[in-house]
Amino acid sequence: MKLKSTILAGTAVALLGSSAFAADMTIVSWGGAYSASQNNAYHKPYMEMNPDVNIINDESSAEAVAKLRAMNEAGNITWDLVDVVASDAIRLCDEGLALEINPDTDLAAAPDGTPASEDFGDLLVSECFIPQIVYSTTFGYRSDVAEWNGKEPDDICAVFDLETFPGKRSLEKRPINNLEWALLCDGVAKEDVYDVLETEEGLDRALAKLDTIKDQVIWWSAGAETPQLLADKEVVIGSTYNGRLFALIEEQKQPVKMLWDAQVFDLDGWIVPAGLPDDRKAAVMEYVKFATDTQRLADQAKYISYGPARASSAPLVGKHADLGIDMAPHMPTDPNNAKNTFLYNYEWWADYRDDLDAKFQAWLAK
Amino acid sequence: MSETATEQVLTTKDGRPLKASLARALRREKLRALVLIAPLLIFVLLTFVAPIADMLFRSVENSIVEDTLPQTVNALQDWDPSSGQVPGEPVFAALAADLKVAVDLKTHTRLGSRLNYEKTGISSLFRKTGRRVKKMTEPPYKEQFLKADKKWGQVDTWQTLKQFSPRYTDGYFLSSLDAERTAEGLQMKSEDEQIYLLLFGRTLMLSIAITVSCLLLGYPIAFLLAQLPLRTSNLLMILVLLPFWTSLLVRTSAWKVLLQQQGVINDFLVWIGLISDANRLVMINNQTGTIIAMTHILLPFMILPLYSVMKTISPTYVRAAKSLGATDWTAFWRVYFPQSVPGIGAGAVLVFILAIGYYITPELVGGTSGIFISNRIAYHISSSLNWGLAAALGTLLLAAVMILFIVYDKIVGIDNVKLG
């Protein structure tokens, strides 16, 4: 009898305890410096303000679409908020796996009262997508290569110029961006790139251009590889996300410079998985409202060189939290860096991805 | 005769035939055993067999077309693709009705992505038409669909739709074998899309190479370990086990540092003057890198079974052989080696099967020429989301392992394998 009552009491305490203490909220992101910036700018202040919320970081964003599909099939959504790139957000929204958002009621207005829908503007590329940052895929190069005889690349075609700029390059192990850059340097006008790529000859042309440097390329699949290869002097020039290069240049003080020419802009932001129970949904919507307000997006830029997605955040971007350097000139959206940018076509890639990937991988394997 | 036979049947005290009683006892015994292992059995079935079976089933499953567009699939039955004509109004009317439902459920984009694996452009065709279909009210629909997207007026769009209407498809398996079904029948895909047969072949060759190099390196070490006195062999054993206990990623990254062109080994070779600074060896991001790193990672799986078998070989046999006049080599080759074959079998099977399914190490050090079929499976599971193709590739890989296993059993005999 005594044992039974002890167990019962214990269970009751445990139940009370779990409801009185923090409710878990699982937020999924990309890990590394990027997750750290979110942790500093959003998670920590939010948990301080709301001691009853306990944020758990998951770093599976690279497989977000696959995992959300699987969770949906299993009928058990374990994630509360997911950080994805724009194309994945569009896909998830189209498939009904992400919740539709009304920017003006669900998100905070700018300090001057501008509604969120205006403040985010064109970056609201999908009804389910809450943009946070603009990042770009661009090139970094070593500034101490003896074989270059003091020359430094100033446009994207330097990647394909083995005579002036000898040495190994690193490129991503997928067709997206690489094919576009190849065509741009083969003399195709920016606005015609996708029309050309759509044809058989266009693809051959892009691959032929890539063939000229194929034996000098190390292909990467994780964003951290190019900075590592540059630091090790394994490659002299390579593509990756601009924030990773920023960390390499400013935090690790490597002799590497940015080549902003033909940088490819992309967006990253939140989606709320569809099918959450009401209480969890309410909790996460409150968090989203906080984490995407003007000040919070500007705060994130203290920790990583990605441009805030709100127009009203841009003037608030200040200095790096540890290094004390001005962050604005390091943003991909800074006018000095954004002289020649390239917008990749999500819609087009949604169609051609399977086909071109098969051909690209076959080309790689040969 | 028969009378005596009945009389002679042995019975238990309560008059039941002994045989039946024994069978009953045995049955009860079996049932009790079954109940005891039931939790494990259920666990294995639920967590191991069922998910794998489900995954394998995806390689032929194709109900999405019929589930999303039931009326259209039905209406399309009478349409003959070889007529060269787009189907008539009834099919378009059925499509309009199906799509209206699908758009509400948001399943049309999933169908679009599924069919996009087969024909480029269908994904956006469904997306685009999905946005328009709500505004379509009055028949005739054909005109409105053609206006929404001219692809609806092309025979091959409909041909793809019809071809993938059945609930089961061999499409994924054909893709895994670089083949496809076209209007002219079964064909190999165009040269610039053929990749999987190449990758299967490469996975097989590299796995064999890795197994052989593990054996060549592992056999002498295991031999040494088994011969040395216990105190020394324990010390050496730790040298084998320490890397084994170290994280796979750490070991793989260490190889990157060692093998890269500006890495330790190249620096050393340049320093001693064996190679010039301009001609540093390329040892990573290719097949060499994969073979070196994976041999290192899988080596303990070869050494441990070899060691445990060699430990049981009595040294008296070799001594006896020598006392009868055998040379060292003869004693080893004729007496010792045949006794260690079960260990070789176990080690080789273990290393080969682990190697054939590896993907992390090849992904990190294999570049483009050193990647395995598993890397494509991982890609299709997590990036391209073509789970059907991934399942088909996985099924083929499983089948290949099983065939090799049977061949191995025929040649060496699986009873010969000894793990301890």
- By DSSP bridging, strand A217-220 and strand A169-172 are parallel
Of A326, A290, A324, nearest to A316 by C-alpha is A326
Give the model's pLDDT for residue A155. Answer: 92
Tokens at A315, concatenated: 């003037």
Q: Convert the pLDDT of each residue in A58-105 to its tens digit.
A: 999 988 999 999 999 889 999 999 999 999 999 899 889 999 999 999
Residue type, A170: S
Please answer yes or no on whether B384 and A354 come within 8 Å at the CB atom.
yes
Q: Is the pLDDT of residue B284 over 50?
A: yes
% of residues, chain B, pLDDT over 90: 66
Reported as type and span, the H/E element at residue B53 is helix B50-57
- By DSSP bridging, strand A81-85 and strand A256-271 are antiparallel
Confidence of residue A166 (pLDDT cuts 50, 70, 90): very high
Give the model's pLDDT for residue B172. Answer: 95
Q: B152-181 in b/e burial notation, b at 16+ Cβ within 10 A?
A: beebebbbbbbbbbeeebbbbbbbbbbbee
At A124, phi and psi to the nearest 5? -80, 75
The predicted model gives A281-294 an average pLDDT of: 95
The predicted model gives A205-214 an average pLDDT of: 96
Please answer yes or no on whether B109 and A91 come within 8 Å at the CB atom.
yes
Q: What is the dihedral of CA B15, B20, B25, B29, to 10 degrees?
A: -170
Q: Is the pLDDT of residue B11 over 70?
A: yes
Give the model's pLDDT for residue A12. Answer: 52
Alpha-carbon distances, residue A317 vs A131, A186, B400 (angstroms): 17, 38, 57
Of A66, A130, A120, A74, nearest to A92 by C-alpha is A66
d(CA B122, CA B182): 17
Residue type, A303: Y
Tokens at A220, concatenated: 């990467």
Choice among A22-26, B12-16, B171-175 with the minimum mean pLDDT? B12-16
> Scanning the structure block, which residue is given the tokens 């994207």?
A156
Please answer yes or no on whether A363 and B192 come within 8 Å at the CB atom.
yes
Between A91, A221, A355, which is nearest B363 by CB?
Answer: A221
The predicted model gives B42-57 an average pLDDT of: 91
The predicted model gives B362-366 an average pLDDT of: 91
**A251 — contact with chain B (CB < 8 Å)?**
no
At CA B8, angle to CA B2 and CA B12, rounded to 5? 135
Please answer yes or no on whether A354 and B116 come within 8 Å at the CB atom.
yes
> Scanning the structure block, which residue is given the tokens 């295991």?
B222
Q: Is the pLDDT of residue A8 over 60?
A: no
% of residues, chain B, pLDDT over 70: 97
Q: Is the pLDDT of residue A253 over 60?
A: yes
Q: Is the pLDDT of residue A9 over 60?
A: no
Please answer yes or no on whether B195 and A218 come within 8 Å at the CB atom.
no
Confidence of residue A4 (pLDDT cuts 50, 70, 90): low
d(CA B173, CA B399): 12
**A66 — contact with chain B (CB < 8 Å)?**
yes
The answer to whether A162 and A216 have CB atoms below 8 angstroms apart is: yes
Choice among A171-175, A354-358, B175-179 with the minimum mean pLDDT? A354-358
Between A63, A94, A358, which is nearest B193 by CB?
Answer: A358
The predicted model gives B285-304 an average pLDDT of: 94
A68, A94, A345, best to mutate vs chain B, most B CBs in 10 Å: A94
Give the model's pLDDT for residue B420. Answer: 59
ipTM of the complex: 0.85
Residues of B in contact with A95 (CB under 8 A): 106, 109-110
Confidence of residue B1 (pLDDT cuts 50, 70, 90): very low
Number of neighbouring beta carbons within 10 Å of residue B413: 12
Confidence of residue A350 (pLDDT cuts 50, 70, 90): confident
Please answer yes or no on whether A350 and B193 come within 8 Å at the CB atom.
no
Q: Is the pLDDT of residue A11 over 60?
A: no
B326 Cβ contact partners less than 8 Å away, ≥ 6 residues apart: B334, B335
Give the gyration radius of chain A's Cα atoms: 23
Number of neighbouring beta carbons within 10 Å of residue A137: 21
Q: Convert the pLDDT of each residue in A12-61 to its tens digit.
A: 545 444 444 568 999 999 988 899 999 999 999 999 999 999 999 999 99
The predicted model gives B26-47 an average pLDDT of: 93
Alpha-carbon distances, residue B40 vs B33, B35, B43, B74 (angstroms): 12, 10, 5, 46
For A361, the closest chain B residue by CA position comes to B195
B368, B372, B375, B389, best to mutate vs chain A, most A CBs in 10 Å: B368
**B109 — contact with chain A (CB < 8 Å)?**
yes
d(CA A300, CA A283): 22
The Cα of A232 is separated from the nearest Cα of chain B by a number of Å equal to 7
Residues of A in contact with B126 (CB under 8 A): none
Please answer yes or no on whether A94 and B386 come within 8 Å at the CB atom.
no
CA B56 and chain centroid, separation: 10
**B386 — contact with chain A (CB < 8 Å)?**
yes
Between B121, B369, B382, which is nearest A63 by CB?
Answer: B382
For B280, the closest chain A residue by CA position comes to A234
Q: Convert the pLDDT of each residue in B339-352 to its tens digit.
A: 999 899 889 999 99
A197, A204, A351, A356, best to mutate vs chain B, most B CBs in 10 Å: A351
Tokens at A110, concatenated: 């700018």
The answer to whether B400 and B204 have CB atoms below 8 angstroms apart is: yes
The predicted model gives A334-360 an average pLDDT of: 89
**What integer best gives the mean pLDDT of chain A?**
90
Give the model's pLDDT for residue B232. Answer: 92
Strand partners, A218: A170
For A359, the closest chain B residue by CA position comes to B193
Tokens at A144, concatenated: 């101490």
The Cα of B370 is separated from the nearest Cα of chain A by a number of Å equal to 9
The reply to whether omega before A335 is within 30° of 0 (cis) is: no
Tokens at B114, concatenated: 């599924």
The Cα of B73 is separated from the nearest Cα of chain A by a number of Å equal to 21
The Cα of B124 is separated from the nearest Cα of chain A by a number of Å equal to 6
B133-141: long-range pairs with CB below 8 Å, 24+: B133/B96, B133/B99, B133/B100, B133/B103, B134/B100, B134/B103, B136/B96, B139/B89, B139/B93, B140/B89, B140/B92, B140/B93, B141/B89, B141/B92, B141/B93, B141/B95, B141/B96
Of A48, A16, A64, A98, nearest to A276 by C-alpha is A98
The predicted model gives B295-324 an average pLDDT of: 94
Q: Is the pLDDT of residue B6 over 60?
A: no
Choice among A68-82, A233-247, A333-347 with the minimum mean pLDDT? A333-347
At A266, phi and psi to the nearest 5? -145, 165
The answer to whether A75 and A273 have CB atoms below 8 angstroms apart is: no
Please answer yes or no on whether A95 and B109 come within 8 Å at the CB atom.
yes
Of A347, A99, A354, A320, nearest to B131 by C-alpha is A347
Collapsing DSSP to helix, strand or coil, A276 comes out as coil
The Cα of A327 is separated from the nearest Cα of chain B by a number of Å equal to 32
Please answer yes or no on whether B195 and A361 come within 8 Å at the CB atom.
yes
**B277 — contact with chain A (CB < 8 Å)?**
no
Q: Is the pLDDT of residue B90 over 80?
A: yes
* pTM exceeds cut of 0.90: no
Please answer yes or no on whether A355 and B198 come within 8 Å at the CB atom.
no
Residues of A in contact with B127 (CB under 8 A): 94, 350
| DSSP, residue by residue, A93-127 | HHTT-B----HHHHSPPPTT---HHHHHGGG--ST
d(CA A355, CA A176): 12
